[in-house]
Each structure stands twice: as structure tokens, then as C-alpha cells.
Amino acid sequence: MAVTLALGGSAAWALDRFVVEHVEIADVSSYEAEQSADATEADSASADDPTIEIETIVEGTGDETVTYYVAYVVLDDMTQLRSAFAEDQFGQNIIADTSEIAEDHDAIFAINGDYYGFRDTGIVIRNGVVYRDEGARDGLAFYRDGHVETYDETTTDAETLVEDGVWNTLSFGPVILEDGEIPDGIEDVEVDTNFGNHSIQGEQPRTAIGVIDENHLVFVVVDGRSPGYSAGVTMTGLAEIMQGLGATTAYNIDGGGSSTMYYDGEVVNDPLGKGEERGTSDILYIAE
């Protein structure tokens, strides 16, 4: 009986922690409208339209084939790169397909985000608004002035970042390029220490963001786990792809079945070779 009760308690805990929706903010659009300065929209309203170029690259043969999708994006203003949450809600275990979230926000381009809703740690700043301030790992910060930096979340706080001009953050990792070089140890990084997402090793579907210059970004989605179509890549392989595309800084975000690129009303890649998406908690997008 004691064993049965213990198992029952563990199952209930896991269900609550990883399945049951926990909504902290039920209407994100209204919340951001209240929290954001009116200057945000004024800054981007007069900006030129972003340029977006999509490319499909296939390398290797047979079971070693790797297929990945590249989006070169040049922004006029970093606030043109926005974030959105599944169901327009903030919290844990709230998910929707990348394409669904993109369509809800009239996006012309989108990729999956960092799946912030899987965890309760990390600094989460989206569209200039603070949602979470629990520094835990190396993050990526997009600044309003157009530059992008990697940083150690544990050495700062969300309010300081916003005061310094941060517009969006991502909390996943690892950093896979610094000053154009591949850091040591990227194959051994653990993004989370909780159950279910300890490591990100091996050949996997991947999503990454690279920085070429101010307001000039490159987004990559690598398909995987589909022998003959795309095997996926290791973290080092992903870093080498980003190097070859001209990025000097690059950052890994949520991958696996979440890895999705959306453009002009269509999913560009083929998640897991199944022609269907896996839900995620957030996206980065550019509106039409």
C-alpha cells in the first residue's frame, strides 16, 4: 500500500507539473498594452518593412542526409521582432502549434521559442515586458538599439535588463558561437535539471538564432530523426552551420519536435518528418 501511494503521489505531481495548465496571466495582449510604453509602437510604426529570405539546404546522402532551413532577416528596428505566447496566456504547460500562434498574430514569419512554459526558471522579457525573473542559465538578449548579446542570467535581473534597453530574452542555450568561435563543452550542457529535459546531446532536430550584424539575424531550423530525409545534427554540427552562414554569435533554443519555421502562411520545414507540428509555449515572429 505504501508503494502504491508513493507511485500515485508521484504521478499526480508529474501530471500537475508537466501537463496541467497553470495560467498566470490570462490576457497577455491586454497586459502588455498596460505595461508597455506608447513609444514602442511609435518607434516601429515608421520603420521600413523587414526583409526575409528563406533558403533550404540539403547536405550529405542516405541516412547521413541533413536538411535545414535558413531565414536571413534584416530588420529596420529590433522591435519588429516580437514574441507571442500560446493561447495569448502566460504560465506553465500552455501550448499551441507554432503556426497557430503565428496566425493568431498575423505573422509573416515565425519560429518556435524557448518553451519557457516547460520550466519555472529563467529571465523572461517579451516585447519589453517582464514576465519572469529567475536567473538560471546563459540567456540571449535582443536590445532595442539592434544589437544582441548572450549573458549570464545569474549576474543580473530583469528590471536592469529592461532599463538597459532589452526588448526580448530567450532562456535555453547553450551559446554555440562566441566571437565566431565554438565554445568548449557545448555537447555536455544540461538546460534543465528537472525530470524530462536533462540533456540535449546527439543528433537532433534543432532551432538556433545567429547574429550577423545589428538588426541582421539568421534563423535556422534543422529537421531530424528522419533517416534518408534528415538525421539531425549535434550541437557542434549546429554551431558549424551557423559559422558557415556568417554568424558571429549564435544561440540554441528548444528543438526536437518543437523545431518549426513558418513563413507566408505555411510551415516551411517538416517536423520529425511527420508533416505535423508539436505544440510549444511561445514563438518569435515578424508581423505582416
State the pLDDT at residue 189: 86
State the pLDDT at residue 4: 44
196 vs 70 pLDDT, higher one? 70
Q: 231 burial class (0-12, 13-18, 19+ CB within 10 angstroms)?
A: buried
Residue 135 banded pLDDT, cuts 50, 70, 90: very high
Distances (CA, A) of 23 to 26, 88, 89, 279, 281: 6, 10, 7, 16, 12
**H or E segment and range at residue 159:** helix 158-163
For residues 237 and 60, give the distance between their C-alpha atoms in angstroms, rounded to a whole number. Answer: 13
State the pLDDT at residue 37: 56
Distances (CA, A) of 255 to 7, 26, 238: 30, 26, 11
Q: Reduced to 3 states, what is the DSSP secondary structure of residue 22?
A: strand
pLDDT, tens only, 250-283: 999 999 999 999 999 999 999 988 888 999 999 9
pLDDT, tens only, 53-100: 999 999 999 999 999 999 999 999 999 999 999 999 999 999 999 999
CB atoms within 10 A of CB 40: 16
Number of separate domains in the chain: 1
Q: Which residue carries 565554445 as its cell?
A: 183
130 vs 36 pLDDT, higher one? 130
Q: Domain residues for 144?
A: 2-287
Report CA dihedral (199, 205, 209, 212) to the nearest 10 degrees: 120
Query: Mean pLDDT score of the chain, rounded to an integer?
Result: 91
Q: Is 174 left (phi over 0), alpha (psi -120 to 50) or beta?
A: beta
Residue 194 banded pLDDT, cuts 50, 70, 90: low
